[in-house]
Structure 1
Amino acid sequence: MPDMSGTKRTLLKSFIGSNIVALGAGTPYIYSYYAPKLLERCNIPISKSSSISFSLNIGSSLLAMFAGMIIDYNPAISCLVGGVTTFIAYGILHICHANALSNVYLISFALVLVGFGSISGFFAGVKVCTANFPRNRGTATAFPISLYALSGMVFSMICAKLFGDDMLGVFRFLQIACTIMILVGTFTLKIVTVSFEDEEPKDTENGDTENDNYNFNTIYQGGGQLESSTSVDQISDNERVIANYSNKHTRSKSDMIHTNTHPSAERSYDIFEDPVTAITTFTSNQEGSNNSIVSQRNSFSTESREHDIHNEANNITALRRDTISEGDEEETSFERYFASNILLKLQNNKVIQTIIDPKYLVFYAILAIQMGIGQMYIYSVGFLIQVQVNTPPISDYHLDMAKLQAFQISMFAIFSFCGRLTSGPTSDILVRKFKCQRLWNIFFASFLVLVASHFITYSYNVDEYESRKTDSIPSIKNISICTTIFGYAFGMIFGTFPSIIADTFGTDSFSTIWSICTTGGVFTVKFFTSILAHDLSSNSKENENLCKIGTSCYKHTFNTIFDICLVGITLTAMMIFGSYWENQKRLSNESADINETIQLQSDQ
């Protein structure tokens, strides 16, 4: 009997540690705080700024899958790696600023380490919360995800208050504070093995239980479990055929997640139902008959399976005997043996199985679209403000552009925090109370992005500015409103998607799978920022480096975003309704199978 009080203490310690790590790992978002002064001090031209900022994406996205592999091995070790790389990264930036080193590659390398150290700690915290709280994944992961988004604003406010323009003090503070906070995870993050009875409701009709972390190296044969420690080398050809055949006919928890089938089950036929969490119920007057039906079906399927297994094994043995000559038999056997080992390992590799799954590929596309839009906006909103401030008649008001840019970044961070914080509980309520899919959160957030992309291109007439000289500037206010919408939608998407991935593909190798899923944003953010840069450049006059025609400077960019966002919404809707029709078809097949079994029983 496990010590539940000790387990709860460990869960609480891991949860608190995950939040501390996430808060300390969110420093990539304060890049815009120190970047201008760093580039000025190191005499780096503004044309190189885009390449330097892109280094953050390389560390936090392209290298994220390597961080994910470490996290899946041990989250605590990942935090150790993250803490060390963060310490080195801010140490390099401190040296570059102190000595005015105009070395783009060295600064870019430091920012790659900042991104990698950040994601190593952040993903570790999300993984632990996802694995330790399977019944409330959305709520549990919402806290570290939202704190990660809020980290930029928190650290920028602290640094501005304590250090002001002293960038050496800023880098020293970030080097010490962020490193310590990420290293907290080394001593607190732990995936707790909680019994199925404690975390998930039991199926009282059959006492079968399944672990949340599936072992895909475990092979089942005729209802009996083969030891996963058995080497592939120890399996003969016939045994391998039997194991492969049996493995194909075994329903793991991953299969249950994809198919959601259960004999004699009554399910909701609601189109909004979440197929992952559909609840199976049995009526009391059918208990005896259903048990006998299931037993009979099991006996039929077992006999048929054993017959098919041995037939297949005998056929392959005969085929080998007829087609392989005696002189080449040894060489061919080695090749067949080597190929079989490789195929078995690939078949049992969870990451490979997942990334080639059509559902995963659609999720990858949806996240890539929304991630690219959100990151492009937070990186580029300063340029939108710059355009508006320098466009007549607003240019006559002599507005403080730096303050307006800082305000936009803070608004985005705050509402991204709110979106991440509310998305988790909202998705849990959708799933557990209303039996809806978490994807409805993504659909709603994508709709918000669509709305903001449309309204940010709205143009105001000159007389509207003249009537508001003492009031807020209409175009600036419009950008601020759209910033809040983009921020909230971006936060909601990132607050919901980890739970969707965990629900669909499980928590085994979750960090690797999730980190690969986020790599799509690297390409889309580059695509969107390139469009914006081209539009700003092409709409500028020949002798000017700045576009001064208001929303016309970036209208084409956000029209393109609007069109691509429509594609993302369409894909999301297809996933939602596709899951519904899949479930309906499955229920129809189950009903037909049950009726056929009842008929066989009555005939006997």
Structure 2
Amino acid sequence: MSSSHANHPPPLLSFARVTSFLTCILVALASGTNYVFSAYGPQLGERLKLTHTQINIVGLSGNIGVYGTAPIWGGIVDRKGPRLMMVMAFFSLLIGYLGIRQFFINGLPDDDSSIGLFSLCALVFCGFLTGIGGNGGLVGSMNSTAKSFPDKTRATANGIVISGFGLSAFLFSTIAHTFFPGNTSSFLLVLAIGTALPMILGFLFVRPIPPPHIDSTRRLEDGTPVSPADYGVGEGLGTGSPTTYSVENTSHTHLLARDEDEEDEDARVPAIELEEEEPLVSSTHAQATSDYVVPGQVDSVALSPTHAGLTRHRSHSSRSISRRSIQTHLDKTADGQPNIHGKRLFKTLDFWLLFTICSLLSGTGLMYINNVGAISQALFANKNPDYDEIKAAQWQATQVSTVSVMNCLGRILIGVIADFTKVKLRLPRSACIVLVALMFVVSQLMCFSIDRIGDLWKASALLGVAYGGLFGLFPTLVIEWFGLPHFSENWGFVSLSPMLGGNIFSIAFGRNVDAHDPDASPSNSDTSTLSSTAAAALSTLASSLLPSPPSTSTPAALPTSTPTLSSTLTDAVRARAGVPSSHHCIMGRECYVDSIKMTIGACCVALALGVYAAWRDLRKHRARRTPAVVVWEDDE
């Protein structure tokens, strides 16, 4: 941020602000390619003979990179700005996707039937690099956008930028399938170059520009707040002090009530004793710097909360600072906005509510997004005598594109709805959590009931809107509940939740599909649920296609290499029969329906928690708007 912008912020629609905002959208478009994994994941798995569980581990490595590094990148961008993030994102995305592409080109050696442990770890690391690179670009863009727009439009601006993150999968999937249809290697090359180059523009143009109506001198270029002395604490109390006011006080002036949670929190804070050898400010100095000074010990103000029925006495002596004043200074900025971070963040119930809700909902979304390709192939292959790999890939790309477009739309819509809810309806933005959670529940119920590939787009569209709404809303709630000074760091800690939920749900999905795949791994052969009719049909077709053995004697025992031969013959039979290779489940919704039952339950729990969070936040807002009973007492 230049010094001229810090001292004299440009207008809201200035060239510098618009340029930075548009570049943020472009960087976000290049940052969300982890959502496109389903467009090449099945092909990568077939090329390297990966099981569905292994495919999910590779996909999750990117998600772990995105969400696992969020607190680290958030803390760095809060202090150092977005440029360092752009440099890191450039190299991580380029190396990560080029590495995955090289694995795809090389494939497996002819004498290997499965990928080795070292190669699998290297592939997972490449996926992890794509995740940390994408998150670096997104964190830099979101931080700059949040600090460049006023509160009344912040949710909309953030929603537009984050919508680029959701649209990324559609953009790159469309480019690849338009210009390189069926060529996965070229698709991965487009991902490598197309995600790295926008980071160069981000390095040049993305920067936070303070809104015109905010005193930008309260924050330095690196994002750290000015020292408390500049607020009038410790060196003399000026007009910014919490105990002096520059407005005239009358009998009609209301003192806002404190909410119940703040009362409880106040009771838990240990008393802090200060030395009182020197007065903080003399009465002469206070009168010179303010039009009104809170009365001293003689004319004290007492607040009498109605719920307790007791009179609460507080003196504002010039020789002491109350315990509550110190806590307010720690958790508030100079303009009274929240500033909660570090250890205090983990001691708030609000953080754990956001973390739990986000974990359940984002875990559901990541499971679906990472596996929608497998879901579409399972539905397309089920009882389909005309199975074709090209058509299956088209259905697969259609679902990825649908999720991506609706993800983008959901992030934009939730920003507008959240701002409308707060500004027009005068309700807290947290009320929108209920709407988002409800959409997740409906999307999973719809996915549970669909058994035709032609209807899957309905579940994909609704899931995309819900997932986009989740990540369009929660960053704004983090700002609203915990403050802007440490926004990226706080959001990074909340962003650890998808890593937890995504790991659990996606791994469960992979194991569920593998359990229904007779040839995914030898350990699953006994638990396979392939119907006896299908098995008999495959056996009959194999005997008709293969030559009969010589009838010299009773058939001898097959050699030890029979399992490998059997697997090869099964693949050949399945290919001639018009069904996918042995690494695809062909039983339709039965392949994954148990996983959908799990996510339905998780989303219902998240909905209940969302209702509680919205009710709790609404209670706080009403408490702040309710005037307290003011009792003036004179010492006789």
* 578 and 386 in structure 1: CA distance in 2 versus 1, 3 angstrom threshold: same
| Structure-to-structure mapping, 1:379-418, within 5 angstroms | 379-391=370-382, 394-396=383-385, 398=387, 400-418=391-409
Question: How far apart are residue 380 of structure 1 and its match?
Answer: 2.0
User: C-alpha separation between the residues in 2 aligned to 1:534 and 1:41?
Assistant: 20
Question: What is the aligned partner in structure 2 of residue 505 from structure 1?
Answer: 482
* 294 and 376 in structure 1: CA distance in 2 versus 1, 3 angstrom threshold: farther
* 396 and 579 in structure 1: CA distance in 2 versus 1, 3 angstrom threshold: same
Question: What is the aligned partner in structure 1 of residue 600 from structure 2?
Answer: 562
1:225 aligns with 2:202: no
Q: 1:207-246 CA deviation, whole Å, 9 max, x = no partner? A: xx9779996784479x83247xxxxxxxxxxxxxx99xxx
* 36 and 126 in structure 1: CA distance in 2 versus 1, 3 angstrom threshold: same
The amino acid that maps onto 1:542 is S
Question: How far apart are residue 82 of structure 1 and its match?
Answer: 0.9
Moved more, 121-130 or 553-562: 553-562
User: C-alpha separation between the residues in 1 aligned to 2:67 and 2:589?
Assistant: 31
User: C-alpha separation between the residues in 1 aligned to 2:595 and 2:528?
Assistant: 21
Question: How far apart are residue 192 of structure 1 and its match?
Answer: 1.8
The question of whether the paired residues in 2 share the 8 Å contact of 1:133 and 1:140 is answered with yes
The amino acid that maps onto 1:83 is F
Question: How far apart are residue 84 of structure 1 and its match?
Answer: 2.0
RMSD between superposed Cα atoms in Å? 3.8
Question: What is the aligned partner in structure 2 of residue 115 from structure 1?
Answer: 131
* 44 and 481 in structure 1: CA distance in 2 versus 1, 3 angstrom threshold: closer
The question of whether the paired residues in 2 share the 8 Å contact of 1:44 and 1:104 is answered with no
> What's the secondary structure of 2:147's corresponding residue?
helix
> What's the secondary structure of 2:254's corresponding residue?
coil
The question of whether the paired residues in 2 share the 8 Å contact of 1:25 and 1:182 is answered with no
The question of whether the paired residues in 2 share the 8 Å contact of 1:373 and 1:524 is answered with yes
User: C-alpha separation between the residues in 2 aligned to 1:180 and 1:190?
Assistant: 18
| Structure-to-structure mapping, 1:69-218, within 5 angstroms | 69-72=75-78, 73-100=80-107, 103-135=119-151, 136-194=153-211, 196=213, 218=227
* 390 and 369 in structure 1: CA distance in 2 versus 1, 3 angstrom threshold: same
> What's the secondary structure of 2:628's corresponding residue?
helix
Corresponding residue to 1:448 among 416, 425, 439 = 439
Q: Which runs of 5+ in 1 are unaligned?
A: 200-208, 228-241, 244-248, 252-261, 270-290, 312-347, 460-473
Q: 1:112-149 CA deviation, whole Å, 9 max, x = no partner? A: 11110100001111111111112311111112211111
1:370 aligns with 2:361: yes
* 294 and 215 in structure 1: CA distance in 2 versus 1, 3 angstrom threshold: farther
Moved more, 146-155 or 523-532: 523-532
The amino acid that maps onto 2:33 is T
User: C-alpha separation between the residues in 1 aligned to 2:623 and 2:340?
Assistant: 29
User: C-alpha separation between the residues in 2 aligned to 1:47 and 1:536?
Assistant: 8
User: C-alpha separation between the residues in 2 aligned to 1:548 and 1:446?
Assistant: 31
* 441 and 581 in structure 1: CA distance in 2 versus 1, 3 angstrom threshold: closer
Question: How far apart are residue 76 of structure 1 and its match?
Answer: 1.6
User: C-alpha separation between the residues in 2 aligned to 1:22 and 1:93?
Assistant: 21
Q: 1:262-307 CA deviation, whole Å, 9 max, x = no partner? A: 971689x9xxxxxxxxxxxxxxxxxxxxx99984389747964555
User: C-alpha separation between the residues in 1 aligned to 2:614 and 2:223?
Assistant: 25
* 395 and 517 in structure 1: CA distance in 2 versus 1, 3 angstrom threshold: same
| Structure-to-structure mapping, 1:450-599, within 5 angstroms | 450-458=441-449, 475-538=452-515, 542=528, 544=530, 550-586=588-624, 590-592=627-629, 594=630, 596-597=631-632
User: C-alpha separation between the residues in 2 aligned to 1:397 and 1:167?
Assistant: 23
* 435 and 456 in structure 1: CA distance in 2 versus 1, 3 angstrom threshold: same
The question of whether the paired residues in 2 share the 8 Å contact of 1:218 and 1:225 is answered with no
Moved more, 537-546 or 209-218: 209-218
User: C-alpha separation between the residues in 2 aligned to 1:580 and 1:152?
Assistant: 36
Moved more, 541-550 or 9-18: 541-550
> What's the secondary structure of 1:13's corresponding residue?
helix
Question: How far apart are residue 39 of structure 1 and its match?
Answer: 4.6
Question: What is the aligned partner in structure 2 of residue 296 from structure 1?
Answer: 295
Larger radius of gyration: 2
The amino acid that maps onto 1:507 is L
Question: How far apart are residue 517 of structure 1 and its match?
Answer: 0.8
The amino acid that maps onto 2:412 is L
User: C-alpha separation between the residues in 2 aligned to 1:433 and 1:475?
Assistant: 42
> What's the secondary structure of 1:457's corresponding residue?
helix
* 579 and 351 in structure 1: CA distance in 2 versus 1, 3 angstrom threshold: same
User: C-alpha separation between the residues in 2 aligned to 1:34 and 1:361?
Assistant: 35
The question of whether the paired residues in 1 share the 8 Å contact of 2:9 and 2:209 is answered with no
* TM score, norm. by length of structure 1: 0.71
The amino acid that maps onto 1:508 is P
User: C-alpha separation between the residues in 2 aligned to 1:310 and 1:69?
Assistant: 31
Question: How far apart are residue 418 of structure 1 and its match?
Answer: 1.0
Moved more, 11-20 or 25-34: 25-34
The question of whether the paired residues in 2 share the 8 Å contact of 1:21 and 1:183 is answered with no
User: C-alpha separation between the residues in 2 aligned to 1:577 and 1:551?
Assistant: 38
The amino acid that maps onto 1:225 is V
> What's the secondary structure of 1:35's corresponding residue?
helix
The amino acid that maps onto 1:90 is Y
The amino acid that maps onto 2:85 is S
Question: How far apart are residue 185 of structure 1 and its match?
Answer: 1.1
Question: What is the aligned partner in structure 2 of residue 52 from structure 1?
Answer: 58
> What's the secondary structure of 1:507's corresponding residue?
coil
Question: How far apart are residue 397 of structure 1 and its match?
Answer: 5.8
* 148 and 10 in structure 1: CA distance in 2 versus 1, 3 angstrom threshold: same
* 143 and 297 in structure 1: CA distance in 2 versus 1, 3 angstrom threshold: farther
Question: What is the aligned partner in structure 2 of residue 255 from structure 1?
Answer: none
Q: 1:520-545 CA deviation, whole Å, 9 max, x = no partner? A: 11121222223334444555673747
The question of whether the paired residues in 2 share the 8 Å contact of 1:420 and 1:491 is answered with yes
* 157 and 555 in structure 1: CA distance in 2 versus 1, 3 angstrom threshold: closer
Question: How far apart are residue 381 of structure 1 and its match?
Answer: 2.2
User: C-alpha separation between the residues in 1 aligned to 2:202 and 2:196?
Assistant: 11
The question of whether the paired residues in 2 share the 8 Å contact of 1:196 and 1:211 is answered with no
Point out the structure with the larger helix share. Answer: 1
> What's the secondary structure of 1:350's corresponding residue?
coil
* 352 and 480 in structure 1: CA distance in 2 versus 1, 3 angstrom threshold: same
The amino acid that maps onto 1:497 is F
Question: What is the aligned partner in structure 2 of residue 23 from structure 1?
Answer: 29
The amino acid that maps onto 1:558 is I
User: C-alpha separation between the residues in 2 aligned to 1:107 and 1:76?
Assistant: 28
The question of whether the paired residues in 2 share the 8 Å contact of 1:7 and 1:192 is answered with no
* 450 and 98 in structure 1: CA distance in 2 versus 1, 3 angstrom threshold: closer
Q: Which runs of 5+ in 2 are unaligned?
A: 1-6, 109-114, 244-251, 260-289, 302-313, 324-338, 518-526, 531-581
The question of whether the paired residues in 2 share the 8 Å contact of 1:220 and 1:250 is answered with no
The question of whether the paired residues in 2 share the 8 Å contact of 1:196 and 1:210 is answered with no
The question of whether the paired residues in 2 share the 8 Å contact of 1:140 and 1:424 is answered with yes
> What's the secondary structure of 1:132's corresponding residue?
coil
Question: How far apart are residue 196 of structure 1 and its match?
Answer: 3.9
> What's the secondary structure of 1:434's corresponding residue?
coil
Question: What is the aligned partner in structure 1 of residue 327 from structure 2?
Answer: none
User: C-alpha separation between the residues in 2 aligned to 1:582 and 1:365?
Assistant: 20
User: C-alpha separation between the residues in 2 aligned to 1:154 and 1:297?
Assistant: 65
User: C-alpha separation between the residues in 1 aligned to 2:223 and 2:410?
Assistant: 31
Question: How far apart are residue 109 of structure 1 and its match?
Answer: 1.5
The amino acid that maps onto 2:355 is Y
User: C-alpha separation between the residues in 2 aligned to 1:142 and 1:23?
Assistant: 13
